[in-house]
Structure 1
Amino acid sequence: MSAARPTKTVAVLDYGFGNVRSAERALARVGADVEITRDYDKAMDADGLLVPGVGAFSACMQGLKSVRGDWIIGRRLSGGRPVMGICVGMQILFERGIEHGVETEGLDEWPGTVGPLRAPVVPHMGWNTVEAPADSRAFAGLDADARFYFVHSYAAHDWSLEVTNPAIRAPKVTWATHGERFVAAVENGALWATQFHPEKSGDAGAQLLTNWIETL
């Protein structure tokens, strides 16, 4: 009889701009040992770090820096330690965000700008399907018509990161459409992110979080 796999620990970064309790419950549901924290060492030591985000890009960046979240994310990724961003927690991973004409520097993990979503109805609020790569690990076990819950008025409209070194695995980018096509999720080595809220996406979101936990 094989030994049981150890429970994976996940730190949910509490910097004042995320649905931390919803994230905690969703992660616990899929078997993770979860702690909501803004403590540097606890966030660094966990198997996985989840970075939620709700509100304005600029306010989220200020809140993140107030708890040294920018350092935590950068240090974890430099060591290949898993990080997952959700909603604005994904948007701040890009180079910059523009809201109401105000430009704010992001974490610059990926090139590109997050800007207003050009659609007849904004915010994009509700359930939507996504276009995931066939070999996506994040969406493994999910049907093509699986639906996820979105709440946002801004998005990354383009993906410009090019990988020319054949030894480096190219990121997998998932798209969705609401008025226009936008980046819905990214798998980039140790860094995963979703524009939608997996913690509010029922069984489909639980499967995605399970897939992430299995990479830790």
Structure 2
Amino acid sequence: MIAIIDYGMGNLRSVHKAFEAVGAEACVTRDPQVIADAPSVVLPGVGAFKDCMANLDEYGLIDPVHKAIRSGKPFLGICLGLQLLFEQSVEFGTVPGLGVLPGKVIRFEFDDGSDFKVPHMGWNTVNIKKESPLFDDVDPHPYFYFVHSYYVQPDNPDTVVTTTEYGREFVSGIEHENIHAFQFHPEKSQKTGLKLLEKFARLN
């Protein structure tokens, strides 16, 4: 049973249905015991960084997230679920994150008149930078679906598993030990996204 963390924000139904589509049993929960017992955990995310951190705190989910990661079980962060893993975001001032990984979250900034609009929205190519169990038999430049105005800047370049070009090269995916986290939405990325979720579900 994959535990999809429910903190009152995020694309929960779509993520749940995507796992069901690949034959993986999953549940949406904010019960710390269910999260602790689950063999795999997913942290989705849609919305503002500050609000998400506030909701995680309100529902008592910060400690269960840390414990899930420390346990070594497969952990997947999606979109804001990637960003929340870092130390801080500059969205609406400096806001502390979960601090699991060193680094920060910054906003896309382009000159006036640029062809690159914010948010970055739609399909884009992902460049696979190193071997990963989630990308072991896919095209080296697959397409995934993005919707975001901010992106992560990890302090440790060894964690970077994918990058994407949007006015500049930015980090679109990281892997560190049992953590797999991506800026794009695999649940919205059709066959390629479902394949990634299926591989995650089989990690345990």
Between the aligned partners of 1:194 and 1:69, the Cα distance in structure 2 is 20
Report the AA paired with residue 145 of structure 1. Answer: H
Report how far residue 140 of structure 1 moved. 1.9
Report how far residue 173 of structure 1 moved. 2.3
Match of 2:155 in 1: 160
Matched, 1:115 2:115: no
Between the aligned partners of 2:106 and 2:154, the Cα distance in structure 1 is 13
Match of 2:113 in 1: none
Match of 1:182 in 2: 170
Match of 1:167 in 2: none
Deviation track 1:52-73 (CA, whole Å, cap 9, x = no partner) reads 1111110010111122221111
Report how far residue 181 of structure 1 moved. 1.5
Asked if structure 1 preserves the Cα contact closer than 8 Å seen for 2:44 and 2:78, the reply is: yes
Asked if structure 1 preserves the Cα contact closer than 8 Å seen for 2:161 and 2:173, the reply is: yes
Report the AA paired with residue 133 of structure 2. Answer: R
Matched, 1:75 2:67: yes
SS in 1 for 2:56: helix
Between the aligned partners of 1:181 and 1:155, the Cα distance in structure 2 is 11
Give structure 1 regions of 4+ aligned residues with deviation exceeding 2 angstroms.
170-173
Matched, 1:211 2:202: no
Deviation track 1:34-63 (CA, whole Å, cap 9, x = no partner) reads 111111111111111111111111001011
Between the aligned partners of 2:39 and 2:22, the Cα distance in structure 1 is 15
Asked if structure 2 preserves the Cα contact closer than 8 Å seen for 1:136 and 1:172, the reply is: no
In structure 1, list runs of 5 or more residues that go unmatched: 1-8, 163-169
SS in 1 for 2:137: coil
Instruction: Among all aligned residue pairs of Structure 1 and Structure 2, give the percentage whose two residues are the same amino acid.
Output: 39
Deviation track 1:171-204 (CA, whole Å, cap 9, x = no partner) reads 3521111112211111111111010000000001
- Return the TM-score normalized by structure 1: 0.88
Matched, 1:173 2:156: no
